[in-house]
């Protein structure tokens, strides 16, 4: 009888409201997650956990809000519009020093996917060849690893012949395709393949992975506001959220094509393609660590901090080593 009633509600388009009422009656807790970017396989683990009932099994009703070029997760958090955000650690630490006390509670991504991709025809072969070149750089918090790298190379970013000219790159690779820049920022799982799809062969490109240059920083961690961690109930809720999310990531890693299909089901824009999302998910799987339940490796954190402190310049990413910027309390609660 219950199934027939639910089937009728589906037919009337009323199931969502019935489910919400049932969730409230059962004490299901709401969690709002703010993503760093638009719906794509970069966030597949969260969509999988939602679609396959992992959040529901953890007694959670998770609302996933897509990001975009005009959405900064720290600002969303500061405005009280999310419980937890996906953010890169450089941006999170910079926000913390500037008064938005974000704390890393879990780190699904172990490896960095950030690269600088250059046209080989320019003669760029080594980092030393970047001097005097025009480089496309993402901003809005994504520029920090680049600034740290340039500081290590002793290359000013003010456009002088002794340094590099920085082109504020949109979230595409047009400056490279249109030869307005010698190099552009790319991710292993996204923009690099846009360059390939744009007509370049791999042998026509010189690629510098930030990890290979010793300036890799942690990406796509989960962050909450520090003051909320004093609430034991919130920590327990985040523990269930992290556990279910890591289950979603592990399933996505093992089932990349199916995970890509779930992402496409959640793409309200209709801009993503199956081929691109499958390729992206396969590359994302290489960056994940699903064995530790999302537990941040303190050595990875320290490497990120030291990279940022070495950035120097007139506008350093951070001016001092942070304190209290990460915790294992939530991951421990998840266990």
Q: What is the pLDDT of residue 209?
A: 97
On whether both 155 and 296 belong to a single domain, the answer is: no
pLDDT at residue 313 in the model: 61
For residue 220, give the nearest of 190, 192, 195 by alpha carbon: 190
Q: What is the CATH number of the domain that holds 129?
A: 3.40.190.10
Of 186, 209, 232, the last residue of a domain is 209
pLDDT score for 26: 60
Contact (Cβ atoms closer than 8 angstroms) between residue 41 and residue 189? yes
In terms of domains, do 229 and 101 share one?
A: yes
Q: Is 0.85 surpassed by the pTM of this model?
A: yes
Domain end point (choices 209, 239, 267)? 209
Q: Give tens-digit pLDDT for 59-111.
A: 999 999 999 988 999 999 999 999 999 999 999 999 999 999 999 999 999 99
- Residue with the bigger pLDDT between 6 and 81: it is 81
pLDDT tens for 127-180 read 999 999 999 999 877 888 898 899 889 999 988 899 999 999 998 999 999 999
Structural domain of 181:
114-209
The per-residue pLDDT for 145 is: 87
Q: How many domains does the chain have?
A: 2
Strands 114-119 and 183-187: antiparallel
Q: Is residue 3 part of a domain?
A: no
In this model, does residue 9 exceed pLDDT 50? no
| pLDDT score, position 34 | 98
171 and 265 both lie in a single domain: no
pLDDT at 47 over 90: yes
pLDDT in tens, 241-262: 999 999 999 999 999 999 999 9
Query: What pLDDT is recorded for position 321?
Result: 94
Does 131 reside within a domain?
yes
Query: From residue 84, how far is each of 25, 53, 133, 201 by CA, in Å?
Result: 24, 19, 39, 39
Residue 279 domain flag: yes
Give yes or no: residues 326 and 251 share one domain.
yes
Does 59 map to a domain?
yes
pLDDT band at 3 (very low <50, low <70, confident <90, very high): very low
Quick: pLDDT tens for 259-296: 999 999 999 999 999 999 999 999 999 999 999 999 99
Residues 203 and 238 in one domain: no
From 185, 209, 233, the end of a domain falls on 209
Residue 10: its pLDDT value, please?
A: 36
What was the pLDDT predicted at 15? 37
Cα–Cα distance, 221 to 282 (Å, whole number): 19
Q: What is the 3-state secondary structure (H, E, C) of the chain?
A: CHHHHHHHHHHHCCHHHHHHHHHHHCCCEEEEEECCCCCCHHHHHHHHHHHCCHHHHCCEEEEEECCCCCCCHHHHHHCCCCCEEEECHHHHHHHHHCCCCEEEEECCECCCCEEEEEEHHHCCCCHHHHCCCEEEECCCCCCHHHHHHHHHHCCCCCCCCCCCEEEECCCCCHHHHCCCCCEEEEECCCHHHHHHHCCCCHHHEEEEECCCCCCCCCCCEEEEEHHHHHCHHHHHHHHHHHHHHHHHHHHHHHCHHHHHHHHHHCCCCCCCCHHHHHHHHHHHHHHECCCCCCCCCHHHHHHHHHHHHCCCCCCCCCCCCCCCCECCHHHHHHC
């Amino acid at each position: 009888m219950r199934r027939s009633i639910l089937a009728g509600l589906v037919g009337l388009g009323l199931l969502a409201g019935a489910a919400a009422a049932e969730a409230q009656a059962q004490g299901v807790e709401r969690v709002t997650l703010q993503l760093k970017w638009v719906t794509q396989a970069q966030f597949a683990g969260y969509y999988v956990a939602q679609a396959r009932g992992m959040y529901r099994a953890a007694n959670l009703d998770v609302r996933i809000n897509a990001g975009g070029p005009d959405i900064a997760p720290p600002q969303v958090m500061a405005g009280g519009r999310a419980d937890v955000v996906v953010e890169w650690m450089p941006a999170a630490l910079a926000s913390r020093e500037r008064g938005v006390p974000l704390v890393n509670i879990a780190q699904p991504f172990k490896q960095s996917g950030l690269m600088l991709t250059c046209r080989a025809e320019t003669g760029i072969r080594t980092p030393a060849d970047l001097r005097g070149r025009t480089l496309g750089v993402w901003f809005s918090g994504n520029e920090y690893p680049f600034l740290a790298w340039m500081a290590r190379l002793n290359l000013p970013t003010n456009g002088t012949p002794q340094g590099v000219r920085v082109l504020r790159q949109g979230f595409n690779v047009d400056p490279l395709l249109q030869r307005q820049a010698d190099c552009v920022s790319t991710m292993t799982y996204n923009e690099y393949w846009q360059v390939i799809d744009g007509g370049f062969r791999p042998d026509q490109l010189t690629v510098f992975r930030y990890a290979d240059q010793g300036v890799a920083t942690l990406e796509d961690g989960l962050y909450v506001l520090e003051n909320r961690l004093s609430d034991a109930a919130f920590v327990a809720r985040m523990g269930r959220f992290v556990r279910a999310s890591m289950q979603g990531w592990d399933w996505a890693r093992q089932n990349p094509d199916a995970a890509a299909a779930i992402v496409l089901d959640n793409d309200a824009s209709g801009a993503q393609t199956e081929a691109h999302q499958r390729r992206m998910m396969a590359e994302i799987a290489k960056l994940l660590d699903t064995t530790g339940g999302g537990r941040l490796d303190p050595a990875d954190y320290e490497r990120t901090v030291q990279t940022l402190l070495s950035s120097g310049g007139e506008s350093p990413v951070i001016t001092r080593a942070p304190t209290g910027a990460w915790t294992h309390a939530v991951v421990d609660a998840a266990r």
